[in-house]
Amino acid sequence: MRILVLGGSTESSDLSRRLAADGRFEVVLSLAGRTRNPGAQPVPLRSGGFGGVDGLVAWLREHRTEAVIDATHPFAARMSAHAVAACRQLDVPLASIDRPAWLRQPGDDWLGVASAAEAVTALGAVPRRVLLTMGRLELGAFAAAPQHHYVARMIDAPGDVALPPDLRVLLARGPFDEAAEAALLDDEKIDVIVSKNSGGGAAYGKIVAARQRGLRVIMIARPHKPRGTLLANPVDAMAWLERGLHQNVSRSPRGV
């Protein structure tokens, strides 16, 4: 069975490992190309946009793709919308791994915002020491609030973008454990965190550490993400594919 996995998440790496170990599946993992060195992958990789819905339709046709798993990051909403549209056009089954958002727990001091621009406003006029953990793509928004000291953590250095003057870049790749996050908050004397509500365990350590210190988290809410069949995790994705495999076999003319 020929499968396209739309990746860029912990779940897509996990699913790729599972699929690589199962000879019944021929898999291509697709990444947006946002990370300069995504590391070795256990399945064939393609990188970069498809060229909108039409480009994705053409790719799926050309590769005679029989199923698509959307395991993109919770904030990669455009890719998910394109996957829904393209799979509908071609009648290719689509399933989407839906990582639950983090929920506010007792002791959390969260301020919910809808975008990086709103997060900038929410930081206020008084200078703060801010930890930014939202990647490099939207860092430019914080240039509008140069009064703060920023520690910005990301995988790759920011490109050619105007940054606030007092910003220290911290290059690091998750997962981040709670003790290390606590040490970072203390060492840098952070008093507010800006985070996307990514969900999952790999980036949750800072949320726990913030709760323990009574620190405010400005939490950027998720965009609406169009979906196919909802799946909770890579194990469920394997089961969904397995069911599809059996249906394909029973539909084939020779029944094999």
| Nearest-approach distance from CB 206 to ligand NAP, in angstroms | 16
Give the residue with the Cβ less far from ligand NAP, 12 or 190: 12
Residues 67-106 that bind ligand NAP (CB under 6 A): 72-73, 75-79, 82
Query: 86 burial class (0-12, 13-18, 19+ CB within 10 angstroms)?
Result: buried
| Nearest-approach distance from CB 219 to ligand NAP, in angstroms | 14
Enumerate the H helices of 95-233 as residue ranges: 116-123, 178-187, 205-213
Can residue 3 be called a binding residue for ligand NAP (CB under 6 A)? no
**CA distance linking residue 172 with residue 166, whole number of Å:** 19
| Nearest-approach distance from CB 135 to ligand NAP, in angstroms | 4
Can residue 153 be called a binding residue for ligand NAP (CB under 6 A)? no
Can residue 8 be called a binding residue for ligand NAP (CB under 6 A)? yes
Helix (H, G, I), strand (E, B), or coil: what is residue 188? coil
Give the residue with the Cβ less far from ligand NAP, 32 or 111: 32
| Nearest-approach distance from CB 165 to ligand NAP, in angstroms | 23
Q: Which residues of 150-179 are buried (b: 16+ CB within 10 A; e: fewer)?
A: bbbbbeeebeeeebbeebebeeeebebeee
Give the residue with the Cβ less far from ligand NAP, 40 or 256: 40
Give the residue with the Cβ less far from ligand NAP, 30 or 185: 30
Residue 27-56 contact track with ligand NAP, rule CB under 6 A, x = bound: ---xxx-x--------------xxxx--xx
Name 144's Cβ contacts closer than 8 Å, sequence gap at least 6: 117, 120
Residue 165-204 contact track with ligand NAP, rule CB under 6 A, x = bound: ----------------------------------------
| Nearest-approach distance from CB 51 to ligand NAP, in angstroms | 5
Size of the site for ligand NAP (CB under 6 A): 23
The DSSP secondary structure of 29-61, one letter per residue, reads EEE-S-SS-----SS-EEES---HHHHHHHHHH
Name 79's Cβ contacts closer than 8 Å, sequence gap at least 6: 6, 32, 70, 72
Helix (H, G, I), strand (E, B), or coil: what is residue 209? helix
What does the binding site for ligand NAP look like in residue numbers (CB under 6 A)?
6-8, 30-32, 34, 49-52, 55-56, 72-73, 75-79, 82, 135, 137
